[in-house]
């Protein structure tokens, strides 16, 4: 093990006195590093920008992310070469899937260059990476072909309703839903499949869109997923009484459609999946992501890399590990690999499971990282 130590850095540098954890000797199984709960590292989510052209009320509300908000200067962002180097090192630890996120990742200039670089990486067993991207769809119509040509496998689009008034209320920048739907069609036409559409359901805002959204995407090949409004970060003013439980969503769907649950043994699966049939014979698949009411931490295999090179081990984390400093101070690949393995071996994160048992969890005075900073 190298003697270079990665300092734990609280988000926004709230405190420099955060204690360093005792790093364990990493445990491996079939070449994959395991955390303290014996969970492998298979899925890496990489934020490529902290900027977004939407101001969704549950993610980047306008009253916080206004014209005076200071985004990261370009010099602090990981370069494409730095991202690719880290991605290759993560793959040696067992990562099989990489998802590019933001902010809005399609705002990162020349994102196709990064995708081209990542698409050449092979997994430990010699297969191609599962390379995907999550977008709000605003730039997808013009970008779909170049993304596919660069090597992107598939795409996920965030879309919270078909009703233009409701959709504009949620994105809060007066962006028309028709342009997102055009982007989805463009992605289908170039083969970025399977396409997933994520709808965050918020009580009193877009509950009425559950049935229209489901009906619209039947027979389309698009997989629609309903996500419970989450308590991520500190800027969205989250309240439990604004959450629509998946159980309620399922009842709404069951009143109109025939539902049959898919059984799956996929490790780390976040969605409960259902085959959906309408009365007029249309079919499709939907998923329910019960991020608040039904914890799925037990087999979570995801790590998140922020746009400035902070490694987070949980979507609800308050602190990250500074990989950018290692990169820029000359650590070699083996030293970085050793540190990532040591970091993952300390992981015991299961926030959602603990929250299910306790109404309020202490945060030790630290703010949780924002979803807009590390992606969903």
pTM above 0.85, yes or no: yes
Nearest to 181 by CA among 200, 202, 158, 201: 158
Query: pLDDT, tens digit, for every residue of 294-313?
Result: 766 768 899 999 999 999 99
- Number of neighbouring beta carbons within 10 Å of residue 188: 17
Distance CA 125, CA 107 (A): 33
Answer whether 320's CB lies under 8 Å from 312's CB.
Answer: yes
User: Which string of b and e fits 243-254 if b means at least 16 CB within 10 Å?
Assistant: bbbbebbbebbe
Q: Would residue 2 count as lying in a domain?
A: no
Cα–Cα dist 57/172, whole Å: 7
Whether residue 255 is contained in a domain is answered as yes
Q: Look-up: residue for tokens 């690719």?
A: 84
**Residue 1 domain-assigned (yes or no):** no
Rounded average pLDDT over 176-197: 98
> How close are the terminal C-alpha atoms of the chain, in Å?
32
Tens of pLDDT along 195-249?
999 999 999 999 999 999 999 999 999 999 999 987 666 666 668 888 999 999 9
pLDDT higher than threshold 70 for residue 376: no
Judged against a pLDDT cut of 60, whether residue 268 lies above it is answered with no
Give me the pLDDT at residue 350, please: 63
Q: Can you give the CATH number for the domain in which 13 is found?
A: 3.20.20.70
Domain that holds residue 184: 8-374
**Beta carbons of 275 and 214 less than 8 angstroms apart:** no
Tell the residue number behind the tokens 């993610």, with chain if given.
Answer: 59
* Number of domains the chain contains: 1
Q: Does residue 68 belong to any structural domain of this protein?
A: yes
Residue 37 domain-assigned (yes or no):
yes
10 — pLDDT class (breaks 50, 70, 90): very low
The string of pLDDT tens digits covering residues 315-372 is: 777 789 999 999 999 999 999 999 999 999 988 866 554 554 444 444 444 566 776 6
Residue 305: which region, alpha, beta or left (left: phi > 0; alpha: psi -120 to 50)? beta
Higher pLDDT, 352 or 49: 49
Residue 3 lies in a domain: no
Q: How far is CA 103 from the centre of its chain?
A: 10
């Amino acid at each position: 093990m190298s003697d270079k130590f990665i300092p734990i850095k609280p988000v926004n540098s709230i405190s420099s006195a955060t204690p360093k954890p005792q790093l364990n000797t990493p445990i491996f199984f079939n070449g994959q590093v395991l955390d303290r709960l014996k969970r492998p590292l298979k899925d890496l989510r990489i934020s490529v920008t902290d900027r977004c052209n939407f101001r969704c009320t549950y993610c980047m509300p306008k009253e916080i992310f206004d014209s005076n908000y200071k985004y990261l200067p370009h010099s602090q962002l990981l370069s494409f070469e730095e991202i690719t180097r880290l991605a290759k090192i993560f793959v040696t630890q067992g990562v099989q899937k990489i998802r590019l996120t933001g902010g809005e990742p399609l705002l990162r200039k020349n994102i196709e260059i990064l995708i081209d670089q990542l698409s050449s990486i092979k997994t430990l067993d010699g297969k191609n990476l599962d390379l995907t991207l999550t977008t709000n769809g605003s730039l997808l119509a013009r970008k779909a072909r170049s993304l596919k040509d660069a090597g992107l496998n598939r795409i996920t689009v965030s879309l919270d309703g078909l009703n233009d008034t409701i959709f504009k209320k949620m994105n809060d920048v007066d962006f028309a839903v028709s342009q997102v739907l055009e982007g989805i069609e463009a992605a289908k036409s170039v083969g970025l499949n399977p396409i997933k559409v994520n709808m965050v359901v918020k009580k009193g805002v877009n509950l009425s869109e559950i049935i229209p959204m489901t009906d619209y995407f039947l027979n389309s090949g698009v997989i629609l997923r309903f996500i419970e409004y989450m308590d991520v970060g500190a800027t969205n003013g989250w309240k439990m009484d604004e959450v629509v439980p998946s159980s309620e969503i399922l009842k709404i769907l069951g009143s109109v459609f025939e539902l049959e649950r898919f059984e799956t043994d996929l490790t780390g699966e976040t969605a409960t999946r259902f085959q959906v049939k309408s009365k007029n014979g249309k079919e499709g698949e939907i998923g329910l992501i019960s991020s608040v009411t039904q914890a799925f931490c037990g087999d979570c295999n995801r790590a998140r890399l922020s746009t400035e090179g902070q490694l987070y081990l949980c979507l609800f984390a308050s602190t990250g590990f500074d990989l950018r400093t290692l990169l820029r101070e000359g650590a070699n690949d083996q030293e970085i690999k050793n540190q990532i393995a040591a970091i993952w071996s300390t992981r015991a994160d299961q926030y959602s499971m603990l929250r299910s048992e306790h109404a309020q969890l202490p945060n030790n005075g630290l703010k949780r990282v924002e979803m807009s900073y590390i992606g969903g």
